[in-house]
Amino acid sequence: MSTTPLIDQAISVLRHNDTGIFTKPGPHQYPHQWNWDSALIALGLSHFDLPRAQTEIRALLSGQWRDGMVPSVVYHSAPSDYFPTPAFWQIENSSAAPDIPTTGITQPPLLATVVRMIDDRHSVPDFVREVYPALLRWHRWLHTDRDADGSALACIIHPWESGTDDSPRWLRLFEAIHPEALPEFQRGDTRHVAATERPNRAEYERFIYLIDLFRKRNYEPSELLKHSPFLAQDVLFNAILFRADEDLRALAKSLGEPTDEIDGWLDRVRINFNTRFWDERVGLYYDYDVREKESILVNTASTFLPLFAGLASREQAQRLIDEHLLNPGEYAVGGDVHHWVTTTAKNELTWEARRYWRGPVWVIMNWFIMEGLRRYGYDDLAEIIRQDTLGLIEGAGFREYYDPRNGSGCGSTEFSWSAALTLELAMNFFDGEATFH
Ligand code: DGY
């Protein structure tokens, strides 16, 4: 079957969610500009409207703080029913973007990777020159203001920074957090999406409690690093950052800029990543609780991100694939699960088929995994996952995530990055092959 109708539909989702300067991740649930969504959206746009892809990236960077942080959300548009609002964040830090409201936290730094992909395909040296300094400042901020132990690994201070908000890997950290005196708030996220597909109340209260703590400390990075009760080194975040550092380095070289600083980050992370995260006994990468100084022993699909980053050795890659990705008790189809790749291993007690990052299939995760598999030469397995992913989208539309048992859609409808990555999977993957099935 030809992917052409799917390509047309994906383009129309991106057009529909387009506000002119940024694209809503979802028309109702996510009406502002989200950081890593926006990077992938730009990648999708670059397939059919390169100038618009560049506008998307400029719009995100217009929210950059003076210290280098690129926030998780930029609120370009008029007030909406999305919570938390800019008024709730109460950003008064003098480093914040002067002209535009933003959140006070960041998100996985995919942007340099996307800019490199766009430049490789379309050669946009002037655009690279324009955005390179902002990307460099963001990466510098991550490797310094978010470095808790001199390892150059970046810490996250809020589960929203991981992009995988209610992933079960954060549950244990949450047990140590007891929200007292929660500020008044009204959830907005369960207005458009069933509560059974969104984070539980206990987690949501902790999300809000943390923001309340941060605003009391005026979002000062050093204060937050010192005092946030949630402090983690996240495999997914650091793998994305490492890959993005490599891509930033390639951009620097293309511009004739020095690379010593970036080389320093790459060297340190290359050494520290495996020491910190790899567990040789079980053949998995585990996240790290910086406060408790111990590994978080929860098996989620972020264990495959080091393939995307090229941080796993051949042997590590083989173990991740043989013992976990192809294991029907964990990630492979089997039992009542018919689709690749669940975001949490099925044998984790916290696994849930329809709840947000607790188990459903996400297109972004599959894309990371496919890119990683191809990087290590597992093209056949990547192709199986690609076919399955496109089949899910064809069957249930451009949803935020999918129930891996029957492929039904969950979360937001007309979800922009599912559309953007459809273009990537249908038009770019395997050298532009445009058919499947
Ligand atoms: C949300 O509101 O669900 C987001 O993930 C937070 O950025």
Q: How far is the CA of 279 from the centre of ligand 1 (A)?
A: 30
Q: What pLDDT was estimated at residue 338?
A: 98
Residue 437 has pLDDT above 90, yes or no: no
pLDDT 10s digits, 408-423: 999 999 999 999 999 9
pLDDT 10s digits, 42-89: 999 999 999 999 999 999 999 999 999 999 999 997 889 999 999 999
The DSSP result for 43-64, as a single string, is HHHTTT-HHHHHHHHHHHHTT-
pLDDT 10s digits, 176-221: 899 988 999 999 999 999 999 999 999 999 999 999 999 999 999 9
422 HSE (CA, 13 A, CB side): 27
Quick check: is 67 catalytic?
A: no
| Beta-strand relationship, 287-289 and 284-285 | unpaired
CA–CA separation, 404 and 361 (whole Å) = 6
Choice among 18, 56, 161, 165 that is catalytic? 165
Residues 150-177 have a mean pLDDT of 97
Q: What pLDDT was estimated at residue 48?
A: 97
Q: What pLDDT was estimated at residue 96?
A: 97
Rounded (10°) angle between helices 379-396 and 4-16: 60
Evaluate whether 219 touches 93 at the Cβ level (below 8 Å).
Answer: yes
Sign of CA dihedral 291, 296, 300, 303: positive
pLDDT 10s digits, 341-359: 999 999 999 999 999 999 9
Evaluate whether 142 touches 109 at the Cβ level (below 8 Å).
Answer: yes
Evaluate whether 373 touches 381 at the Cβ level (below 8 Å).
Answer: yes
Top mutation candidate among 35, 102, 162, 165 for ligand 1, by most atoms within 8 Å of CB? 165
Residues 6+ apart with CB under 8 A from 150: none
Evaluate whether 54 touches 130 at the Cβ level (below 8 Å).
Answer: no
Is any ligand 1 atom within 6 A of the Cβ of residue 160? yes
The closest of 179, 166, 143, 162 to 354, measured between CA atoms, is 166
Residue 36 has pLDDT above 50, yes or no: yes
How many other CB atoms are there within 10 angstroms of residue 150's CB atom?
Answer: 8
- Residue tagged 């129309």 (tokens): 12
The closest of 172, 271, 173 to 229, measured between CA atoms, is 173
Q: What pLDDT was estimated at residue 429?
A: 66
Residue 300 has pLDDT above 70, yes or no: yes
Is any ligand 1 atom within 6 A of the Cβ of residue 362? no
The closest of 153, 127, 436, 141 to 285, measured between CA atoms, is 153
Top mutation candidate among 37, 160, 162, 185 for ligand 1, by most atoms within 8 Å of CB? 160
Q: What pLDDT was estimated at residue 115?
A: 98
Is any ligand 1 atom within 6 A of the Cβ of residue 357? no
Average pLDDT, the chain: 96
Evaluate whether 104 touches 214 at the Cβ level (below 8 Å).
Answer: yes
The closest of 41, 211, 35, 68 to 134, measured between CA atoms, is 68
Evaluate whether 337 touches 405 at the Cβ level (below 8 Å).
Answer: yes
Q: What is the pTM of this model?
A: 0.97
Evaluate whether 161 touches 170 at the Cβ level (below 8 Å).
Answer: no
Q: Please state whether the peptide bond connecting residue 108 to the residue before it is cis, i.e. omega within 30 degrees of 0.
A: no
Residues 245-259 have a mean pLDDT of 98
Helix residue spans in 256-362 (DSSP H) = 260-277, 305-309, 314-319
Evaluate whether 188 touches 83 at the Cβ level (below 8 Å).
Answer: yes
Q: What pLDDT was estimated at residue 20?
A: 95
The closest of 350, 413, 324, 426 to 47, measured between CA atoms, is 426
Is any ligand 1 atom within 6 A of the Cβ of residue 161? no
pLDDT 10s digits, 89-139: 999 999 999 999 999 999 999 999 999 999 999 999 999 999 999 999 999
Top mutation candidate among 189, 190, 211, 417 for ligand 1, by most atoms within 8 Å of CB? 189
CA–CA separation, 196 and 52 (whole Å) = 36
Is any ligand 1 atom within 6 A of the Cβ of residue 102? no
Residue 252 has pLDDT above 80, yes or no: yes
Is any ligand 1 atom within 6 A of the Cβ of residue 414? no
Q: How far is the CA of 199 from the centre of ligand 1 (A)?
A: 10
Is any ligand 1 atom within 6 A of the Cβ of residue 189? yes
CA–CA separation, 205 and 201 (whole Å) = 6
User: How would residue 432 be classed by pLDDT, with cut points 50, 70 and 90?
Assistant: very low
Q: How far is the CA of 117 from the centre of ligand 1 (A)?
A: 26
Residue 147 has pLDDT above 90, yes or no: yes
Backbone angles phi and psi of 375, in degrees to 5: -60, -35
Q: Which helix (H) or strand (E) holds 332?
A: none
Joined together, the tokens standing for residue 155 give 């810490």
Beta bridge partners of 288: 233, 295
Q: How far is the CA of 421 from the centre of ligand 1 (A)?
A: 20
Q: What pLDDT was estimated at residue 434?
A: 37
Among protein residues, the one whose CA lies closest to atom 4 of ligand 1: 160
Residue 1 has pLDDT above 80, yes or no: no
Helix residue spans in 200-326 (DSSP H) = 201-216, 221-227, 235-255, 260-277, 305-309, 314-319
Quick check: is 165 catalytic?
A: yes
Among protein residues, the one whose CA lies closest to atom 3 of ligand 1: 189
Choice among 37, 400, 403, 414 that is catalytic? 400
Q: What pLDDT was estimated at residue 435?
A: 35
Long-range contacts of 37-41, Cβ-Cβ distance < 8 Å, separation of 24 or more: 37/416, 37/417, 38/111, 39/110, 39/111, 39/113, 39/114, 40/110, 40/114, 40/364, 40/416, 40/417, 40/420, 40/421, 41/14, 41/416, 41/417, 41/420
Joined together, the tokens standing for residue 8 give 């047309």
Is any ligand 1 atom within 6 A of the Cβ of residue 165? yes
